[in-house]
Amino acid sequence: MIAYFILGLALLVACVVLLRWFLGADPKAVIAALRWVLALLGIALVFIMLWGGAKFLAAFALPLLIPLLLRAGPLLGRLKAAVGPTPGQSSTVETRFLRMTLDHDTGGMTGVVREGRFKGSRLDELDENDLIELWRDCRAEDEQSADVLEAYLDRAHGTDWRAAAGHTHDGGERESAGRGWGAAPRDTSMGVEEAYEILGLNPGASAKEIRAAHRRLMSQHHPDRGGSNYLAAKINEAKDLLLDRLG
């Protein structure tokens, strides 16, 4: 009996020490160490059960589990932050002519034409000449669609398409349209569902998740990195809307 008491007390002290270290340690180091700790605890529990100490172990388990359950939220949050964004995460942004999907892992852009003579076509199905014709249609009808399509063309075909289209780009051209890169798009009323789609988040995302998604998308789609004024504005607007809702 004394041996069980000493063993149980040692396990309790070790768990408390590990919990304190966990809360202050680097998350990456925690994940690496956690695998070894779980394996050792599993082996120890098996031996205790084989020696008939199940009832004695239960007496020590309850006081240990209560603080662990109270700490479960912060602990899971730290693990999630350490692992980073879920692979395959994407965002969706719509304009009058385009429905664009933004890949969070690669920063890549794909899209489908929503209106006009190329309606229903995927952008990657259209050759450069067709994309230029689509861009001309967008420029004549919808500035926001043209702005997004320019960013796509720059990424998919380089900047040589501009010469073929007779379109020069001097970095200040978009500013002359009356919008800074982070300004809110004109004539827009963003809903909460759209804001979650733009940031690639599920409803109920925390403020930390919202800010992380915003930083990730802006690092990929900032106009200074070949992005679009319109995309940057929508990403900013989505972040502001969702953070305002959280208070």
pLDDT at residue 186 in the model: 46
Q: For residue 92, give both structure tokens.
A: 């969706």
Distances (CA, A) of 65 to 60, 72, 200: 9, 10, 35
Q: Determine contact, residues 78/27, Cβ cutoff 8 Å.
A: yes
pLDDT at residue 175 in the model: 39
Give all strands (DSSP E) within 104-166, no chain letters.
109-113
DSSP string, 72-101: HHHHHHHHHHHH-SPTT-EEEEE-SSEEEE
pLDDT at residue 180 in the model: 41
pTM value is 0.55
- Walk along the chain (247 residues) and give the pLDDT tens digit of each residue: 566 567 666 766 776 666 666 555 555 565 566 666 666 666 766 665 556 555 555 555 545 555 555 555 555 555 554 444 555 678 888 999 999 998 877 778 899 999 999 999 999 999 999 999 999 999 999 999 999 999 999 888 888 888 888 776 544 344 333 334 444 444 457 889 999 999 998 888 899 999 999 998 888 888 877 778 888 899 999 999 999 988 7
pLDDT at residue 120 in the model: 95
